[in-house]
Structure 1
Amino acid sequence: MSASRTDYIYGRNPLLEWLAADLAVSRVFLCRENDPRKEQDLLRLLQIKKIVPQRVGRQELTHRLGHGDHQGVAALVHLPDYAQPEDLLSRAANEPPFIILLDQIQDPHNLGAILRSADGAGCHGIIMPKDHSVDLTPAVFKASAGAAAHVPLCRVTNLARTMAELKEQGLWLVGSDEKAGEVYYQRDLTGPIGVVMGNEGKGLRRLTAESCDFLVKIPMYGRINSLNVSVASALLFFEVRRQRNAKS
């Protein structure tokens, strides 16, 4: 992604997190109809950043964005560059690396939810292939509740090759697969780890699964045999964090 690429982000929390991360903002739009009591934190932060918001009508903002899912708040921003795999590893200064690899996630709401869980669990970043994967879009930022401003995202040409390089760096790669024989909480996840999650409908591709050091499953006790990928991701991410906290 080029650093000069611009796009809109929308929603109160995504903009608050964007500003808190000190990322570049070109213009901010607030609806005249907004409740002033709900704008105090945002206006205070805009003042600190020396950004003067432009007041517009709700219909005008909806027309500008092409939809009404904006909560009366939007900003034209300069999207940051995608990270490199080594950038993610360098963030793991005080603990073993904790990286997420996504194999062709295509739904922006799923990616947003995964980013939110990744931030909450203290992951060091996310790697995904360039092809057949959702881009970092305004819908992703909104679904992430602003977490996309804090979790580095890396896009690579060949996911299997990147997985091999991470293994050379000492990471163990654990893939989520409903047909695996081992339950996820039975595996030691305290070391340098890469959690690999598959596509919404197809799961892990064959080469991706074969590139993992081991596969684990989430046990299901009802009639449905799998969880949504964003929910499954949250369970695995926080199991890594739980085990690390228990060990420290």
Structure 2
Amino acid sequence: MPGNSSRRGAIRKGNSRKGATVGSGGQRRRGLEGKGPTPKAAERPNHKAFKAARRTEASASGRQRPAGGTSGGRSAKASTEVIAGRNSVVEALRAGIPATALYVAGRIDSDDRVKEALKIAADRVIPIMEAQRPELDRLTDGATHQGLALQVPPYDYAHPDDLMNPEAPGAPLVVALDGITDPRNLGAIVRSVAAFGGHGVIVPERRSAGMTAAAWKTSAGAAARVPVALAGNLTRTLVDFRKAGFFVIGLDMDGDVELPGLELADQPLVIVVGSEGKGLSRLVGETCDQIVSVPMSSTVESLNAGIAASVTLYEVARQRSGR
């Protein structure tokens, strides 16, 4: 037909061994066909909406709790953690930190630390997984792992209501943290609570240290015996404790009462420890029944939060025992 000879691909080229190409064979048409409707964001595994829905389902499957706190079990603060490096892994295993897997590089140069890690993991029935170094690099986010990594599961937080147990031996004694962001301070406080007869620790869900591997290690195993509860709103939680019959005292260097003069030691007590820099937040300070200070030499401006909590817990335990 006139004009058809100008269609590219519809005529035989002189230097071609193939016949005339009369089109794409339907490939372009099939390429333009749709692949069905786009899945909803909550149905795409790599989308943040999908992950948020999974977290919501996980929370809904746990215990239902009243307003003013958070649900028990796994929480928004909880996350899987990986400890990397031979010394760190061995120290964590010695401290009894819960672990879900020990990853060992293939053809690792074994030394005493590797042998000890393998022995402790085997004794505690922790799965030992062999992994290639690129996989360990990915698992530890590029940290120096030296062929050894330990996977730590999310901490299973208690609920603040669990610490309002009227049947607990002795007068209940709880420590709440306000703005403590160093997990080593949290671990030290958990250890002191265990040493001086406390019943638990409360941490806020936001702007606070959580029970990471560092906190576990500093607690020297006490975290296995002392429950740590997660509060959605610390001020509301302290109000709930007051309604339950507890007295709330806050530690501050400008307190109205010095620690030796504390008259509430034999009562159900919540001790609130603020951060070293900012101290107690305004709303938390206004919620306290008393603000208590630890007497110090004038040459020292303040105490580390963990040490201040330990001194206060010791004094409360001393007064309760009548010594």
Relative to the length of structure 1, the TM-score reads 0.78
Q: 1:31-74: CA deviations, max 9, x gaps?
A: 865437x949x83x6444333545899xx979854556x99975
**Paired letter, 1:198:** G
Name the counterpart of 1:182: 257
Structure 2 portions without partners, runs of 5+ = 1-72
Distance 1:48 1:16 in 2: 12
Distance 1:91 1:6 in 2: 34
Name the counterpart of 2:74: 2
Structure 1 portions without partners, runs of 5+ = none
Matched, 1:215 2:287: no
Matched, 1:28 2:106: no
- Alpha carbons of structure 1 residues 246 and 155: separation in structure 2 relative to 1, 3 Å: same
Name the counterpart of 1:234: 310
**Paired letter, 2:212:** T
Distance 1:210 1:163 in 2: 11
Contact 2:95 2:217 survives alignment (8 Å): no
- Alpha carbons of structure 1 residues 137 and 191: separation in structure 2 relative to 1, 3 Å: same
1:209 Cα deviation (Å)? Answer: 1.2
Higher RCO (C-alpha under 8 Å, 6+ residues apart): 1
- Alpha carbons of structure 1 residues 11 and 172: separation in structure 2 relative to 1, 3 Å: farther
Distance 1:90 1:82 in 2: 16
Distance 1:217 1:29 in 2: 47
SS in structure 1 of the partner of residue 235 of structure 2: helix
Distance 1:156 1:224 in 2: 32
- Alpha carbons of structure 1 residues 92 and 26: separation in structure 2 relative to 1, 3 Å: same
1:179 Cα deviation (Å)? Answer: 0.8
Matched, 1:134 2:212: no
Contact 2:256 2:290 survives alignment (8 Å): no
1 or 2, which has the higher strand percentage? Answer: 1
Q: Which of 153, 156, 160 is matched with 2:235 structurally?
A: 160
How large is the Cα RMSD of the aligned pairs?
3.5
SS in structure 2 of the partner of residue 94 of structure 1: coil
Contact 1:183 1:219 survives alignment (8 Å): yes
Relative to the length of structure 2, the TM-score reads 0.62
Distance 2:205 2:281 in 1: 15
Q: Which of 82, 94, 101 is matched with 2:176 structurally?
A: 101
Max radius of gyration: which structure? 2
